[in-house]
Amino acid sequence: MSTATLRRIQKELSDISNNPISGVSVETQDDNLFEWKCSIKAAPESPYKNGTFKFTLSLPSNYPFKAPTVTFTTKIYHPGINEEGSICVPVLRDEWKPTVTISSVLAIIQEKLNNPSPDDPFEPEIATLLKNDKTKFLATAKEWTKKYAM
């Protein structure tokens, strides 16, 4: 890993602490700048309201030329987050560019979590339920939030 990589990560951490994203918390894991423990407090209008969802953000040694890996550690009933905790976000896959900041990635993850969409799902069955029986989807999302995220 290069000193440029470390400087970039330190600058981004500093930017996040100076301009925090409401509802998102970030801390490095045991002073390891490449492993971040993050959480998102769901928005009041979200199907996951009152829930706090934890995830790790792992930065590769060749960051920013390769996207970070995001893994949710809190179970969530969501069409875009699978059972292993991976999230389906284009910016973390084929749309990654070295100019993308971690702060913008966190904002995208927060938006995705609060506004589940049946499009481009990781969990097709959940997406189908969201499309065809939103009431049942919302009830299940609320139940899982109570069980795993409170």
Q: Is 53 helix (H, G, I), strand (E, B) or coil?
A: strand
Apex 126 CA angle, 145 and 45, nearest 5:
45
User: Cis bond leading into 116, ω under 30°?
Assistant: no
Distance CA 13, CA 6 (A): 11
Give the separation between CA 76 and CA 82, rounded to whole angstroms. 8
Backbone angles phi, psi at 141, to 5 degrees: -60, -40
The reply to whether 38 belongs to the active site is no
Q: Residue 51 and residue 40: Cα distance in Å, rounded?
A: 8
Q: Select which of 42, 70, 88, 105 is catalytic.
A: 88
DSSP state of 90: G
What positions carry a catalytic annotation? Answer: 88
